[in-house]
Amino acid sequence: PNTHKMKNKVLIQRGHLTNYGAEVRQGIELSGAKILSCGGKNSCSNELLEKSLSKHKKHIACAMYVVSHHCSHYDAVKISRFLKLCKKYNIPTIVDAASEEYMEKFFKLGADIAIFSAHKFMGSLTAGILAGKKQYVKNIYLQNLGIGRGMKVGKEAIFSAIIGVENWYKRD
């Protein structure tokens, strides 16, 4: 997609540009966004994150935090601090929590959007679950007219994801 005249930067800590079988970078760039990484190869500080937010605010579409064992050795800004700093600069946030079990904790911390796997813990067919604030979900839904069209799941996977989530939260 041509995002030339739009806010098109996604701020992400360098150590979160990991490979989980696919590149996080590639997923971001498929949307037409440009990467704005902060921090070094092994760490990112609160000061570096805040400097990137303040310096590039007018070009940042959102900021992304990846929760994954693939970046567990990276000394990242803690997720709660990351979300607070982004809120301070009115930058919407996406949490990639595909490998996590509990959805609600990321929203309690202040995430605007979170991405989860329907199959890793929920027992669903392979699908992703995107949840969050309605205004951002609507914006993301517009990707059905773009790159998202070729990646959409069928009705069987959607139904399976719904049942998987319901069963996950009913379990003892």
Interval 112-130: pLDDT, tens: 999 998 888 788 888 888 8
User: Greater confidence, 60 or 140?
Assistant: 60
- Rounded Cα–Cα distance for residues 147 and 111 (Å): 24
**Amino acid 169: pLDDT:** 84
**Amino acid 60: pLDDT:** 97
pTM: 0.91
Mean of all residue pLDDT scores within the chain:
91
Torsion of CA 48, 38, 9, 59, to 10 degrees: 30
How confident is the model over 25-48, as a mean pLDDT? 93
Q: Which residue has the tokens 């982004």?
A: 86
* Beta-carbon contacts of residue 164 (< 8 Å; ≥ 6 apart): 118, 119, 122, 123, 124
3-state SS, residue 159: helix
- Rounded Cα–Cα distance for residues 128 and 15 (Å): 23
- What confidence category does residue 51 fall into, taking pLDDT thresholds of 50, 70 and 90? very high
**Amino acid 136: pLDDT:** 94
- pLDDT exceeding 90 applies to what percent of the chain? 58
